[in-house]
Amino acid sequence: MDANDYHLGPPVPLVLFMRCLSKLTCWASLLCVALTASAASPTETIGVYSERKEFLVQPLFDQFSRETGIKVQFITDQAPVLIERMAAEGKNTRADLFIAVDAGNLWLAAERGLLKPLNSKLLTARIPASLRDPGNRWFALSQRARTIMYSTARVKPAELSTYAALSDPKWRGRLCLRSSKKVYNQSLVAMQIKALGEANTEKMVRGWVANLAAPVFADDTLLLQAIQSGQCDVAIANTYYLGRLLKETPGFAVAPFWANQATGGVHVNISGAGVTTHAKNPVGAQRLLEWLSDKEAQKDFAMLNFEYPVDASIALGPILAAWGPFKADPINVVEAGKLQSAAVKLMDRAGYK
């Protein structure tokens, strides 16, 4: 039996079983032993397929198990890999709960019939409508703001305003971007299509490409380090990458600027989860999902990875608090999935690699 197998309770002692074969009255004792063993050693297990890395989910799952006695068995991988695995496994999947770090991938899993709608008053009360599937097949557990980053040594906040303004010629040779192949940028562009229309969004993206100071970067950390080193002055990145760098290097001379505050609001993506269609333990999976949406779990997510809680009343850590509040884009993040294909095609046309 491998590490991902579900474990059953301890077997009934063989000696007792043999003694009972010829004694009808002993069957009652046999049943009592089996039930007592089961009660003493809870066997309920929840299987989780998680795009979130182990160091982020393991502490939460351990705490859930301590509080409930329910074991959580999980595997981690990229969302597209996990989605294909669930689809291939079908009714034989071991996944009761699916966790992803992008609304587009949650939307895709739901559209492929891999997630089931839930009737949970707790989840609908805790998670704003813009941060959950309209059909209640998935729910946000944290927010991931993707906004403008700037050099505090070379750029003044007054020079900044919107994502679209980064296409202005004044930023020629001063802008850094992460690869268009990353789903975070695909979701950002998809949401801009919804807000601005396809023509205006393509004009914006073409302007970004014209203003690049260097070829696109493989990840946000490298991009932020490029600002620090003077390779570029502004960029677009997820705030938690900056939070990690500031924790390691408090004097890191890069800061976030909250984009689009006079218009729609800063783009937010989510980490979130949904109960799988073929869950063996749908009740337990919903219980875990509701537990993860509680204030304490949201706070732990925020503290572990410098993300923003879905619940705005939760106090932030010092690094996030220092950045101040922001107005988030109110458009439902489901559009990041619906318009993802259009976003990818648009970026290809615009020459955004």
> Strand, helix or coil at 68?
helix
Residue 53 lies inside a defined structural domain of this protein: yes
Residue 213 lies inside a defined structural domain of this protein: yes
Same-domain check for residues 195 and 220: yes
Per DSSP (E only), the strands in 218-319 are 234-238, 254-257, 267-275, 308-309
Model pLDDT, residue 43: 66
> Strand, helix or coil at 142?
strand
Residue 320 lies inside a defined structural domain of this protein: no
Nearest to 187, CA basis, from 272, 245, 255: 272
Same-domain check for residues 306 and 342: no
For the domain that residue 222 is a member of, what is the CATH number? 3.40.190.10
Same-domain check for residues 333 and 199: yes
Q: How far apart are CA 64 and CA 293, in angstroms?
A: 12
Residue 192 lies inside a defined structural domain of this protein: yes
Same-domain check for residues 150 and 263: yes
Report which secondary-structure segment, H or E, holds 38: helix 26-40
Same-domain check for residues 217 and 241: yes
Residue 253 lies inside a defined structural domain of this protein: yes
Same-domain check for residues 61 and 157: no
Per DSSP (E only), the strands in the chain are 45-50, 71-76, 97-100, 139-151, 175-176, 234-238, 254-257, 267-275, 308-309
Nearest to 353, CA basis, from 99, 132, 182, 155: 182
Report which secondary-structure segment, H or E, holds 285: helix 282-292
Residue 112 lies inside a defined structural domain of this protein: yes
Structural domains in the chain (count): 3
Same-domain check for residues 331 and 232: yes
Model pLDDT, residue 301: 80
Question: What is the extent of the structural domain holding 35?
Answer: 1-43
Q: CB atoms < 10 A from the CB of 302, how many?
A: 23
Same-domain check for residues 222 and 183: yes
What value, to the nearest 5°, has the Cα angle with vertex 122 and ends 118 and 97? 45
Same-domain check for residues 213 and 341: yes
Same-domain check for residues 231 and 183: yes
Same-domain check for residues 25 and 52: no
Per-residue pLDDT of the chain (353 residues; tens, 9 = 90+): 333 333 333 333 433 333 434 444 443 443 433 333 333 334 699 999 999 999 999 999 999 999 999 999 999 999 999 999 999 999 999 999 999 999 999 999 999 999 999 999 999 999 999 999 999 999 999 999 999 999 999 999 999 999 999 999 999 999 999 999 999 999 999 999 999 999 999 999 999 999 999 999 999 999 999 999 999 999 999 999 999 999 999 999 999 999 999 999 999 999 999 999 999 999 999 999 999 999 999 998 888 899 999 999 999 999 999 999 999 999 999 999 999 999 999 999 999 99
Model pLDDT, residue 24: 41
For residue 145, what are its two tokens?
């703001």
Measured CA distances, 193 to 18, 333, 353 (Å) = 71, 12, 18
Q: How far apart are CA 163 and CA 234, in angstroms?
A: 11
**Phi first, then psi: what are they for 100, rounded to 5°?**
-135, 165
Same-domain check for residues 125 and 274: yes
Residue 321 lies inside a defined structural domain of this protein: no
Residue 24 lies inside a defined structural domain of this protein: yes
